[in-house]
């Protein structure tokens, strides 16, 4: 059973920062391909960041909308994935989900297949 449990959402003013955490456990998904998806008002759920650790290092991928502002990281010893979000904008408001890929193949934020419950992020003055 897939367990992807996020925390760290909240409300912040534009330009502020938040750090999301995700504790992963269970099985049925790839622990070497994890990341984050979000659903903002009026839009479909979309992947925004991925981290691939299947080659012994860490390759990171970001959507253009968050590139340079968000940083993904993973602590495999603690079964945790993080999303550091800086310079937050009102358009970043939405529900954020920790996500994973289940099947083999290329690891990318557009290819996540499972996600857990969401955590709300609100950016407003």
**For range 3-27, the mean pLDDT:** 97
**Residue 56: is its pLDDT beyond 90?**
no
Q: Are 111 and 49 in contact (CB under 8 A)?
A: no
pLDDT at 97: 98
Tell which residue, 78, 63, 74, 5, has the closest CA to residue 33.
Answer: 74
Q: Are 84 and 68 in contact (CB under 8 A)?
A: no
pLDDT digits (tens, 9 = 90+) for 75-118: 999 999 999 999 999 999 999 999 999 999 999 999 999 999 99
**Residue 55: is its pLDDT beyond 90?**
no
- In this prediction, residue 11 has a pLDDT band, given cuts at 50, 70 and 90, of very high
Q: Are 118 and 95 in contact (CB under 8 A)?
A: yes
Interstrand relation of 59-62 and 80-85 (parallel, antiparallel or unpaired): unpaired
pLDDT at 47: 97
């Amino acid at each position: 059973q897939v367990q992807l449990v996020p925390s760290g959402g909240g409300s912040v003013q534009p330009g502020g920062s938040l750090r999301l955490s995700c504790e992963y456990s269970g099985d049925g998904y790839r622990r070497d391909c994890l990341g984050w998806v979000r659903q903002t008002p009026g839009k479909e759920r979309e992947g925004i960041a991925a981290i691939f650790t299947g080659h012994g290092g860490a390759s990171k991928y970001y959507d253009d909308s968050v590139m340079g502002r968000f940083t993904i990281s993973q602590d495999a010893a603690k079964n945790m994935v993080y999303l550091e979000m800086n310079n937050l904008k009102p358009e970043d408001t939405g529900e954020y989900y920790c996500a994973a890929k289940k099947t083999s193949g290329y690891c990318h934020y557009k290819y996540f297949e499972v996600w857990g419950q969401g955590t709300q992020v609100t950016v407003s003055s």
